[in-house]
A and B are shown apart, each in its own frame.
Chain A
Amino acid sequence: MNVYLTQSRFTYSTHVELLDDILFPQKVHWFPETYHKATTGMFYPPHKVAEKVLDPDLMADLRENSAGKTAFILAAGNTNFSGISPHNKKPSRLSYAYKFLPLTLTQVYAARVAQACGASDQIITDSSACASSLKVLMDVSNLIQNYGFDRVIVLAVEDQVSNSVLEFFGETRAALLHEEESKTGAVPSAFDSKNYGFYVGQGAAFAVFDSEQTVERSGIDPIARLMGAYSASEVINNAIGQREDGQGFAQAIKGAAYYADINVEDIRTVKTHGTGTQSNNASESAGLRSVLKDFIATAYKPRIGHTMGVSGLLETLLLFEDMKAGFVPGIPNRSEEDAVFLSSHAPVPDGLVLSVAAGMGNIYSAAIFDRPCR
């Protein structure tokens, strides 16, 4: 049973701004308007980000033209949207106290959106940290191939630019903090010897996956075919660390290839997780090189920021858009020539596309797609 990506909407911000009134000053990619009136407690930034991809016309179409048995998955990265965390005491421009507590629970919010899309046969949420939106593609495949679902709708949104997330990534020194940036002159990049790290970024993605029969029945022109997806972990004692040998990445890729029933040699284009941290650079490049032979790889976080649980799916959709335009993009801010972890745009090679993501809590996800259909 083939599974197709048939419709999508996504958003990200290229507006980069230094937030210097927070505990760990850092630059972010964000939509400042999502915080407009947030202090009243009547508006919630993650919902405002989600609204950017919740196209009312598309939702009405999905609701009114049912494909049959339909599921909805909210890939939220967390079980709660995180901005209301009481941990933060220091007032900042990100401070607010949202008054509608039920809607801060991701499952409640998921139900609200799912019903508006006519997806009422199963409504679930995922909290697999930064792997969330790619991890759910394993669920998408499973629901369609093994449980008779005709359609699975995925909304990926998280409360990325919030006090608690920025504080967490500041404490763990995972994000590129302003102090370090000023001291070293480094800018966000990945797999580079000079530039490294990421800014946190707001973004969201909405995607519709249909069964082969649904595609045939509706005559929808698919964007791409989802061939297989898998999530894995690795043997490590550090719940926020990554093995340098890339075991987790390798396991996820091998699993996705097994369920896609393909030879890994056929994978020629890779959308990496690409946070650009020292740890991820080592782990991901080792994992990829241990499984793949002849490939080119790109990374989107230096361009759009790290959108956390949204990043896997959002960056995959961005890659499809770029491939449709005829290229696989170079990784921004590379300081050396590199034909594998691309330092400049490359033509789209033949072969399959691999997307990978990793999350704190020892999770690695991989999804394999046939080349974009459009």
Chain B
Amino acid sequence: MDFLQLLNAVARVAKPDYQEFIPLQDMAAPIAQSNLDSLDLLITSIYLCELYGIDQETSKGMSPATPQELLNFLNEHKTKEPQSVEAALKEVR
């Protein structure tokens, strides 16, 4: 599964529908480029921690600047992972 595709899909759910979201194209790109504000990013992070089975205590240590940093954190602490983008979206919608 392509992580950028997952991240963009989950972030789109976190961001209010009427606001523009710029899909991230590069694992090294600053997440700020996507137009996610701090609340959107918090919501996105909580969604991803849930999808990767990471408890709230551990998730407090997450402060990613790029998709790669986010993926590194998730891989380090995951207890499960989503099977597909579609399956992930079913859990957060």
Classify the secondary structure of B's interface with A: helix
| Cα-based distance from A116 to B17 in the complex (angstroms) | 9
Nearest CB in chain A: distance from B11 CB, A: 15
Which residues of chain B (5-57) have a CB below 8 Å from chain A? 16-18, 39, 42-43, 46-47, 50, 56
**Is B92 in the interface zone, CB < 8 Å from A?**
yes
- Which chain A residue lies CB-closest to B50? A42
Contacts of A112 in B (CB 8 A): 16, 39
**Is B91 in the interface zone, CB < 8 Å from A?**
yes
Candidates B18, B39, B56, B91; contact of A40 at CB < 8 Å: B91
Contacts of B91 in A (CB 8 A): 40, 42
Q: Are B46 and A115 in contact (CB under 8 A)?
A: no
Which residues of chain A (69-123) have a CB below 8 Å from chain B? 99-100, 102-103, 108, 112, 115-116
Q: Are A42 and B16 in contact (CB under 8 A)?
A: no
- Which chain B residue lies CB-closest to A64? B18
Interface centre among A40, A56, A59, A100 (most CB of B within 10 A): A100
Contacts of A102 in B (CB 8 A): 39, 42
Contacts of B43 in A (CB 8 A): 100, 103
Nearest CB in chain A: distance from B16 CB, A: 6
| Cα-based distance from A197 to B71 in the complex (angstroms) | 55
| Cα-based distance from A112 to B43 in the complex (angstroms) | 13
| Cα-based distance from A99 to B48 in the complex (angstroms) | 12
Q: Are B56 and A99 in contact (CB under 8 A)?
A: yes
Candidates B17, B39, B50; contact of A99 at CB < 8 Å: B50
Nearest CB in chain B: distance from A209 CB, A: 22
Nearest CB in chain B: distance from A79 CB, A: 19
**Is A60 in the interface zone, CB < 8 Å from B?**
yes
Q: Are B92 and A42 in contact (CB under 8 A)?
A: yes
Given A40-B91, A42-B91: A100 in contact with B46 (beta carbons within 8 A) = yes
**Is A68 in the interface zone, CB < 8 Å from B?**
no
When A and B form their complex, which 9 residue pairs have the shortest distance between CB atoms, in order from nearest? A99-B46, A116-B16, A116-B18, A42-B92, A100-B46, A100-B43, A42-B50, A102-B39, A63-B18
Tell me the A residues contacting B by CB distance below 8 Å: 40-42, 56, 59-60, 63, 99-100, 102-103, 108, 112, 115-116
